[in-house]
Amino acid sequence: MKPSLVVGKIMQLISASLPNRCLMCHQSIALPARGLCHVCLDSGLYHQPICQGCGCAMQVQCIFCGRCLLKQPIAVIAPCSYHQGLGEWIGLIKYQAQFAALPVLSQALVNRVCELESLGLLRLPQVLVPVPLHINRQRKRGFNQAWLIADSIYQQLNIPIAVQGLERVLDTESQAGLTGQQRRMNLSGAFRLADSFPYQRIALIDDVVTTGTTVNEIATMFKKLNIHVQVWCLARAEAPGLLD
Ligand SMILES: [Zn+2]
Ligand SMILES: [Zn+2]
C-alpha cells in the first residue's frame, strides 16, 4: 500500500473513533454528516433573496438590487452571511486547519449555485479558479483553503479547476485593519495572469469575501481578456465597499 493511502486509512480510523459532534451546539451528528448539524447549518444560511452585488436582502430574487443594477458590480455567490453565525467556522478552516465544516458548507454553496442557475440568475462557469496564495504563505499554512473548496465543488458539479494561469507573485501584508484604499494599494500587482487563458467564463473561488478587494483586483485582470468573472465563496459580508 502507498504511504499516502496508509496515512489516509489511519486518518479515517482516527476520525471514525472520535465523537461526531456539531461544532456549534455539540450535539451528536449522524454520519455521514460532519461538522455542523442540520439545525445549526440551517440557522446560518440565507433564507431570503440576496443581491449578488452588495449582499443585501431583497423582496424578489433577481441578480442585483436597484442600487447595484446601476453599478453592475462583480456577482458574489454565497450560501450565508459572514456575520450571521457561520463565519467563525469558516475562519477555523483557514487559521486552525479545522476542516470539519468544509464539506457541509461547500455543499450549501453548491445548493445555492444550483438554485440560482435553475432560476436563470446564474450561468455556470467553464472552470473554477481558486484564489492563489503566495508560495511562502502556502508552504507555511500547508494548504490553500480556496483549493480545498474548489475541489469539493468539482466533486459535486464536475466543473474543472484551472491549475495554471493565475498566480500570486507578491507576498503581501494581511489585509486586516486596512482602509479600502490601503487594501487596494497593498494588493496592487500581487497577482499575475497569463497573457492567454482558454476560457470565457470563470468562477473565482475563495473562502470568504468581505470588502471584495482581492476578488476585484483579480477580476480586473480577467476582464481585460474579456473573460466573465463571478465569485463563489462560503460566506460573504454585506459590503457596500464592493460598490466603490
Ligand atoms: Zn448544531
Ligand atoms: Zn445590491
pLDDT at 86 over 60: yes
Give the contacts of 141 (CB within 8 A, at least 6 positions apart): 94, 97, 133
Q: How many angstroms separate the alpha carbon of residue 217 from the centre of ligand 2?
A: 19
- Dist. CA 72–CA 70, nearest whole Å: 6
User: What is the β-pairing status of strands 127-130 and 191-193?
Assistant: unpaired
Q: Shortest CA distance to 231 belongs to which of 104, 112, 119, 135?
A: 112
Domains defined along the chain, listed by start? 32-243 (3.40.50)
Asked whether the predicted pLDDT for residue 45 surpasses 90, the reply is: yes
How far apart, in whole angstroms, are the C-alpha atoms of residue 198 and residue 224? 14
The Å distance, Cα 111 to ligand 1 centre, comes to 20
What confidence score (pLDDT) does residue 165 get?
94
pLDDT digits (tens, 9 = 90+) for 192-244: 999 999 999 999 999 999 888 999 999 999 999 999 999 999 999 987 555 44
> CA-CA distance, 124 to 101, in Å (whole number)?
24
C-alpha grid cell for residue 206?
475563495
Q: CA-to-CA distance for 51 and 65, rounded, in angstroms?
A: 5
Ligand with an atom nearest the CA of residue 43: 1
Rounded Cα gap, residues 18 and 24, in angstroms: 17
C-alpha 216/C-alpha 175 separation (Å) is: 14
* pLDDT at position 173: 75
What is the grid cell recorded at 2? 502507498
Q: Assign 77 to helix, strand or coil.
A: strand
Q: Please compute the mean of the pLDDT values over residues 159-175 and round it to a whole number.
A: 90
Q: Which three cell numbers stand for residue 243?
A: 460598490
| DSSP secondary structure letter of residue 189 | T
Q: How far apart are CA 240 and CA 55, in angstroms?
A: 9
Q: d(Cα 55, Cα 93) in Å, to the nearest integer?
A: 23
What is the whole-number distance in angstroms between the Cα of residue 56 and the centre of ligand 2?
6
19 CA → ligand 2 middle, Å: 42
With a cut of 50, say whether residue 138 has pLDDT above it: yes
DSSP 78: -
Distance 239 CA to ligand 2 centre (A): 9
